[in-house]
Structures are given as structure tokens and as C-alpha cells.
Amino acid sequence: MFTVNHQTNRIAAVKTKTFSELGFTERKHLQEWLAHEPSALGEELLIIQKEFDGFDDTRERLDLLALDKDGNLVIIENKLDDSGRDVVWQALKYASYCASLTKLQIVEIFQQYINRYEKGANDGEGAPADASSQICEFLDAPDLDEVKLNLGNSQRLMMVAANFRKEVTSTALWLLGQGINIQCFKITPHALGEQLLINIDQIIPTPEAKELMIGISAKEAEEKTTEVVLKNRHNVRREYWEHALEVFQSSPCTLYNNISPSKDHWLSAGSGLSGCPYALIFLQKELRV
């Protein structure tokens, strides 16, 4: 990051700082910044809980829990100057814990957050804000019955840190290739005189790579669908030829006695004349010889 001096027509580097030398902490500062401005992570998110510990038989806490515009749960893990080695494993554990949360449980979790953290929710001026209404408003849904939350394995992972170790980035890239929705955000503090600037960059996947990956995923999905269709079609053809050859075995025609069933849409047998085979054609809407 640089400043521009219009008079001299020169640029000067803004001094990069670390959170530790500035005296910032993960829970008191970074977590609070993102809880109150989740759009800093590049999209609209609804924070529904922080320091969430509602997991059975474990005392673990995830930093921030959010909903995206598609109703998916987003697990946000924050680190300061170093991501550490185990942040991916930590985030994956939390995603697995959250995978079983129902719609009603999510609404209750958000209601607890509203009651505890949102200013004015319990200030004596009326009932606390309603979690169901806020979720419906965020998702542009008329009522909670039409809202779909946390479907299947749709949980997303976001990791935020000033620096990411290679163990973390390598694992994150591999998980992306396996279809896990994971993002890494590098957060860098800069000092400009008495003013502190924070820069947040998405490094995995980069926006350009994300667009490419969406295209690749669509292509892979199409290829897998095609494979399934072909496999089913091959099974139908092979079954058909098995029945057809059984009929030939009990008929006067001996041309196909030594022919095996095939996955192809045709089956050929020699006629005894060079260059003149018989071909049985099995198509979707017709059969012919």
C-alpha cells in the first residue's frame, strides 16, 4: 500500500505493522471488527453467534457463525499474526459439528445472540428483536416456512489471519479441489501517521480463480452426469443383447452363436461372404438389420 504525493508526483510506502506490536487481540479486536462489519469479507453475511460453544460433549468454541444469502452456515475462524498449523482442522471440526443443526436450532442460536449482544434488544423499550424476522428479511423470504437453512453439506469455511503457513494454504487448496467451500483472507494492518488502516485480501481462492473454479465445477458436473447416463445406457444395451442372443440360440439362425453381448448399440456377425456382415442396430426409437 502506497500514498501518492501530488506535488512531487511520487509514491511512498505505508508502513506495515503487526497486530501484536499494536496491542490488538484476536477476540477483543479482530473478532469484533468482523462481527460488526462482516461485509469486509467480500459479501453480505448475517452474524448469528460469536464464541459459539453449543456442541455436545466438547468445550470448543468457534469464533463467528454466520449465514450467507443462500442460507448456508459460514464458519469464520480468526487468527492474528500467524494462522497456526491446525486452523484448517479446527474449522473442519466446527463445520462437522454445525452440519447437524436444524432450522429451529439455528433460529434459537441467533435469538440468543440478539438477546445477549445486540444493543437495544433488551433495553426495556419492548420485546427483543425477533430472530426469525431478521433471517427472513436477510434472505428475502416471506416467512420462515419457506426458508431453507444449512442443507446437506453446504457449510462454508472462512479463515482470517495476517499470515498463513504453507501447511494451511496447501491443505485449503486441496480441500477446494475436493469441493469443500473454503476461503482464506489475509488481513494486514498499516500505519499512516496516527491513523490505522486495515487491508483484507482474499488469497484463496483469488476472485479470478474462483470464477474459473465455478466454470470447472460446472464442467465436471456435466461430465459426471454424462458418465452416469452412458453407464445406464450401456447396461440397458448389454441386457438387451443378452436376451436377443438367447433367442438366436433357440432359432435356426446360427450366425450369432459365437457372439458375446456388447455395450454398443450394434452387434455384427459374419455372413460367410467377405465384406458382407450382418449388423443388428439397437437405437432409442428403432431396431434395424
Q: Is residue 266 part of a domain?
A: yes
| Positive/negative CA dihedral, 82, 84, 87, 90 | negative
The residue range of the domain holding 155 is 2-101+150-205
User: Cβ(261)–Cβ(238) under 8 Å?
Assistant: yes
User: Cβ(68)–Cβ(85) under 8 Å?
Assistant: no
pLDDT of residue 186 exceeding 80: yes
Judgement on whether residues 237 and 181 belong to the same structural domain of the protein: no
Residues in Cβ contact with 194 at an 8 Å cutoff, skipping those fewer than 6 apart: none
| pLDDT tier for residue 262 given thresholds of 50, 70 and 90 | confident
Q: Is the pTM of this model over 0.85?
A: no
Judgement on whether residues 250 and 195 belong to the same structural domain of the protein: no
pLDDT for 76-108, tens place per residue?
A: 999 988 888 899 999 999 999 999 999 999 999
- What pLDDT does 59 receive? 79
Q: Is residue 116 part of a domain?
A: no
Judgement on whether residues 284 and 171 belong to the same structural domain of the protein: no
pLDDT of residue 138 exceeding 70: yes
Nearest of 27, 33, 101, 92 to residue 67 by alpha carbon = 101
pLDDT of residue 261 exceeding 80: yes
User: Cβ(75)–Cβ(156) under 8 Å?
Assistant: yes
Q: Is residue 18 part of a domain?
A: yes
State how far the Cα of 155 lies from the Cα of 132, in Å rounded to an integer: 20
pLDDT of residue 114 exceeding 90: yes
In this structure, what CATH number is given to the domain that contains residue 22?
3.40.1350.10
Mean pLDDT of 161-178: 90
| pLDDT tier for residue 36 given thresholds of 50, 70 and 90 | very high
CB neighbour class for 62 (10 Å; exposed up to 12, middle 13-18, buried from 19)? buried
| pLDDT tier for residue 10 given thresholds of 50, 70 and 90 | very high
pLDDT of residue 46 exceeding 90: yes
State how far the Cα of 160 lies from the Cα of 107, in Å rounded to an integer: 26
User: Cβ(158)–Cβ(41) under 8 Å?
Assistant: yes
DSSP states along 55-113 = -TT----EEEEEE-TTS-EEEEEE-SS---SSHHHHHHHHHHHHTT--HHHHHHHHHHH
Cα angle for residues 185, 164, 16 (degrees, 5° grid): 75
Enumerate the β-bridge partners of residue 188: 199
Average per-residue pLDDT for the chain: 87
Judgement on whether residues 266 and 159 belong to the same structural domain of the protein: no
Q: Is residue 19 part of a domain?
A: yes
